[in-house]
């Protein structure tokens, strides 16, 4: 089938905490002069797809996510057709969720991952202690799937990326001169409740301490970094030696629309904007 090669890449996954609506602000820190885009907490990779960089390293500790990106890159039309063919019903959702991933082929796992992601509550990725995906079906607001052309365009973008199922510390050890590193970690905020449980071992305050050490190393390698994090005591401590800018966001994890309130994040960076 002929596709529109001029289609704009779009993220095909929904992800809790996605910065899709903040991309215009984030783009102010990007320059085409950077040699490579690096993202250690890939998630839906919405910033990556919007930039469409020539070279990238996308990583995430979620091995199922990275495997899905690899399959989409390898055979996007087949993945798209299989996902689009599955009925978006509550009954079918729970049948798919109950399937054991270890008994499926890589292609089947990728299709299942995308289908569950597109139809689960608020795009949340959460597993129990046994590693089983346990997010309920979204009875509303799941949204339409991307078009075939947008999906194919996203796969083309992924061809430019090295994909790795790594912890963020491992990924950041591969940062080099001229890189641009975007970090959007799950929140480890002690003062209030925010969603951060993305797997068996959630991001915690010890990880935030590790991250602070890596920022100095990134800077010393003559690379640029940009961190987006909830405006809180922990983030202000992280920003102590760097430039910081406040950004207004809307939280989308609450179960009811009326509870989806505006909040603020800090953008922490070693890039000084002329503003």
Q: What is the per-residue pLDDT across 68-98, written as a single tens digit (0 to 9) for each?
A: 999 999 999 999 999 999 999 999 999 999 9
Determine the Cα–Cα distance for residues 250 and 83; give it in Å rounded to an integer.
Answer: 29
What SS3 class is residue 61?
coil
Report, as an integer, the average pLDDT of 245-273. Answer: 76
pLDDT band at 139 (very low <50, low <70, confident <90, very high): confident
User: Measuring CA to CA, how many Å separate 44 from each of 84, 224, 235, 237?
Assistant: 19, 21, 23, 27
The two three-digit tokens of residue 90, written as one number:
């509550």
Helix (H) and strand (E) counts for the chain? 10, 7
Mean pLDDT, residues 17-38 taken together: 95
Task: Write down the pTM of the prediction.
Answer: 0.89
Burial status of residue 243 (CB atoms within 10 A of its CB: 0-12, 13-18, 19 or more): middle
Tens of pLDDT, residue by residue over 121-134, are: 999 999 888 889 99
Give, in words, the CATH class of 20-269.
alpha beta
- Distance set, CA 272 to CA 70, 163, 182, 193, 226 (Å): 35, 29, 15, 31, 11
Judged against a pLDDT cut of 70, whether residue 1 lies above it is answered with: no
């Amino acid at each position: 089938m002929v596709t529109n090669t001029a289609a704009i890449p779009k993220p095909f996954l929904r992800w809790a905490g996605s910065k899709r609506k903040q991309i215009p602000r984030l783009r102010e820190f990007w320059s085409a002069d950077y040699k490579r885009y690096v993202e250690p907490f890939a998630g839906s990779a919405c910033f990556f797809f919007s930039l469409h960089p020539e070279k990238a390293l996308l990583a995430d500790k979620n091995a199922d996510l990275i495997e899905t990106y690899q399959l989409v890159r390898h055979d996007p039309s087949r993945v798209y057709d299989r996902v689009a063919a599955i009925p978006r019903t509550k009954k079918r959702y729970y049948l798919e969720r109950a399937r054991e991933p270890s008994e499926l082929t890589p292609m089947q796992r990728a299709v299942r991952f995308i289908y569950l992601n597109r139809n689960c509550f608020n795009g949340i990725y959460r597993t129990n202690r046994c590693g089983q995906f346990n997010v309920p079906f979204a009875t509303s607001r799941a949204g339409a799937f991307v078009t075939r052309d947008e999906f194919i365009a996203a796969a083309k973008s992924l061809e430019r990326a090295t994909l790795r199922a790594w912890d963020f510390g491992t990924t950041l050890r591969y940062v080099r001169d001229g890189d641009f590193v975007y970090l959007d970690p799950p929140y480890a905020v002690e003062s209030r409740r925010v969603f951060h449980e993305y797997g068996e071992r959630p991001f915690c305050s010890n990880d935030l301490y590790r991250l602070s050490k890596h920022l100095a190393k990134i800077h010393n390698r003559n690379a640029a970094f940009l961190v987006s994090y909830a405006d809180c005591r922990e983030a202000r401590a992280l920003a102590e030696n760097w430039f910081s800018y406040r950004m207004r966001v809307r939280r989308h994890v609450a179960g009811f629309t009326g509870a989806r309130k505006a909040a603020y994040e800090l953008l922490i960076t070693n890039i000084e904007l002329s503003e």
